[in-house]
Amino acid sequence: MSFSEFTEKDYEVIAREYEALRLSAQKRCANEEEMAVVRKAFDFANEAHRNVRRRSGEPYMLHPIAVAQIVVDDIGLGYKSISAALLHDVVEDTDYTVEDIREGFGDKIASLVDGLTKIKNVLDNEQKTRGTDISQQSLQAENFKRILLTLNDDVRVVLIKLADRLHNCRTIEHMPEHKRDKILSETMFIFIPLAHRLGLYGIKSELENIWLHYKEPDAYLDIKERIERSIQEKGEEMARFVVPIEEALHKAGFKFEIKKRVKTPYSVWRKMQQKQVSFEEVYDLYAIRLIFDADQHSGETERDQCYHIFSIITGIYRYMPERLRDWVKHPKSNGYEALHCTLLSPSGVWVEVQIRTRRMDDIAEKGIAAHWIYKRHGYLGEGDYEMDAWLERIKGILVNPDVNALELLDIIHNDLTSTDIYVFTPMGEQRSIQKGATALDFAYLIHTEVGNKAIAAKVNQRLVTLSHVIDTGDKVEIITAEDAKPQHEWLQFLTTRRARAIVMDYFKSERKQTVDFGRSMLEDTLTGLGFDISERNLQRLEVTYGVPSREELYYGVGIGALSMEGIPEALKPNSGKLSWLRKMLRLESKPQEPEKEQGVTVGSTEPGTTHYAIASCCNPIPGDPVIGFKAPDGSVTVHKKTCPVAEGIAATHGDWVVVPKWLEKAEETSFLVRISLRGIDRMGMVNEISSYVSLAMGVNMRGLTLTADKGIFEGYIDLYVASRDVLDKMIKKLSSIEGIEKVTRSDL
């Protein structure tokens, strides 16, 4: 922030933005008295922030106005929340106190402002010095714990904070890069999942797109341009597609509206990454939202009316059965209800159709705020019970005194990002459990003793191990034995919080022995691999595994929760590759203050300079956008900006973030990458691929694995490249070889 006298133009901009807010707020305020409170809050904040400017140079008051606009338009909250949004920075940034707010606006608005002020304080109050001891709790994790605890008090505090985070992300280009990386990682790790779980689809989508724009700018712009071209090409076709549907529904007596939706750049990018598909293979790029007014007097439930519409439109167009999603019968845990089907247009384009009632659409767009409104009026759908159950579960986790901040953050993150599947007991009883759960997770879902005494399982009558991952629709039977007991190795494959907590509690009495065993095991492994058992090496392992203390490191190894396979990579000595990295990377260390930078010697191969390591979890290469983390010993680990491991570290240890820059190509050094291929097999295909890679591009292959079955081949090549440019050229050329249908970069 900075101070300078406002101009007449500044006052005009503030007045114009407030007028837009006033028009929106009038629709949410019940009467003139409520509107008067909003105006009073604006006047109070406007005076408090007079002559204060943001980093961009614009009047600071535009920020609280924008946050209030999001609160009313995107979330649908009322006058108290709008007023709190306008006032949310007053206590932190001016001489006014919470008591001043209470005196002028009452207890509830003061309470909301107080909660928002505390959140701002803990997020801004980063750890100033760490020294060489990283065994203490992550301050950032403690901060997030305090933020989430406001869910126990008033969820509106978190909702307004989400609005605040959205506007800060909208203007994030004015932040220095190290600060951007920290904020965006926090956003992806906790705020985007929170927005999803609270049902705020619009806010979630916009935050995701901003994240991608700065984390992978080239991919974002490419996908955005492709989407825009596709809209231009397919726009008229989509208009023709809905005409028969409209006619049929009007004839059936439904009152409805149809909205067209195109996937966001982030959702397209994520599908391309997860499914390893090209842009052209994203079949659900287009969606039609069919929103209808449920007839409360027809004798049919909302669910029945959704099915009725489904039967009408699938009588017009062919649908894809495997892509039918019934979230009316089984709502998502964030309360989302809809019936999704994918229809084939006359020109052969697959179009997703989302069938929702007006109530379902309100909750899908406004989330928990709409949920409250319908609940207040005595109407609850299936999804509303899911929302209440989730909130109660989160509150139970938050108040557990045995959970430290880092554990809590992992638990909440996993809970926020998990999706549920539906499985059945041998008696046909349906149970929901998070996607990716194993048979043993299911055993603990049934009962603690069933889990503790489990030895195997039957899934759809087939005998499987306890580590078997179950899927939607599976019938699961747990086989037990009286003398069975929990095993340490179970923690390597259990995924649900409840199951892991039960097993860890079981071993708590053995903790000291486990810690001693883990220390011995780790020291033996280090010695066997030729590494010193030094403080520096142990600190680097704590950073690598993201554990809060030395004891947790030993304990994790002792119970088998931490694999030691990554030790050689984490402690790799300064080989030629690392010496080359010192030439390739310029380190811009995070400054203690915006105006100052810590002095760091870079680009030198002299003893005592910064050591670098490439993270094996994502294997970045020159040309990839990267983020670095500086360990207490001064060494820096370099990740891709989109690496999930990096996101977790930056979200919990933002003060470790540094900004490495790729400076130049180094032809004498190369990086190992993998590219996957798929296509139609023909004589000489392998020869042509290997010849091009080795001879035309001069690239060294480490291995080529291709298999063919019924005329289709697929496989991968591991090779060494100097940069992303070289890799992109190779992928483009290989894609042009006759018979090759898909070439993508994939994980090693």
- Rounded average pLDDT over 667-689: 81
Per-residue pLDDT tens over the stretch 573-610:
543 333 334 444 444 433 333 333 332 222 334 444 45
Q: Are strands 612-614 and 636-640 parallel, antiparallel or unpaired?
A: parallel
Q: Read off the pLDDT band of 28 (50, 70, 90).
A: confident
In angstroms, the CA 88 to CA 115 distance is 9
477 part of the active site? no
CA angle 702/707/709 to nearest 5° reads 170
Residue of 327 and 60 predicted with greater confidence = 60
Per-residue pLDDT tens over the stretch 324-346:
888 888 777 667 789 999 999 88
Choice among 182-191, 383-392, 647-656 with the minimum mean pLDDT:
383-392
Contact 540, 132 (CB under 8 A): no
Q: What is the DSSP letter of 712?
A: E
Q: What is 433-462 written as a DSSP string?
A: EETT-BHHHHHHHH-HHHHHTEEEEEETTE
- Rounded average pLDDT over 398-426: 61
In angstroms, the CA 25 to CA 19 distance is 10
* DSSP SS3 for 401: coil
- Rounded average pLDDT over 340-361: 89
Long-range contacts, 5-13 (Cβ 8 Å, 24+): 5/51, 6/50, 6/51, 6/59, 10/58, 10/59, 13/58, 13/59, 13/62
Choice among 375-379, 607-611, 625-629, 676-680 with the minimum mean pLDDT:
607-611
| Total number of residues shown for the chain | 748
In angstroms, the CA 278 to CA 741 distance is 10
Nearest-CA neighbor of 383 among 403, 357, 408? Answer: 357
In angstroms, the CA 596 to CA 526 distance is 39
- pLDDT, residue 353, reads 94
Pull the structure tokens for residue 320: 């894809």
- Rounded average pLDDT over 628-642: 78
- pLDDT, residue 403, reads 52
Mean pLDDT, rounded, of the chain: 79
In angstroms, the CA 75 to CA 84 distance is 14
Q: Which of 34, 93, 597, 681 is catalytic?
A: 93
Q: What is the DSSP letter of 136?
A: S
93 part of the active site? yes
Q: Read off the pLDDT band of 391 (50, 70, 90).
A: low
Q: Which of 17, 92, 177, 471 is catalytic?
A: 92
Q: What is the DSSP letter of 279?
A: G
Q: Read off the pLDDT band of 397 (50, 70, 90).
A: low
Would you tell me how many other CB atoms lie within 10 Å of the CB of residue 599? 7
Domains and CATH numbers, the chain: 2-182 (1.10.3210.10), 217-366 (3.30.460.10), 419-483 (3.10.20.30), 511-570 (no CATH), 576-662 (no CATH), 671-746 (3.30.70.260)
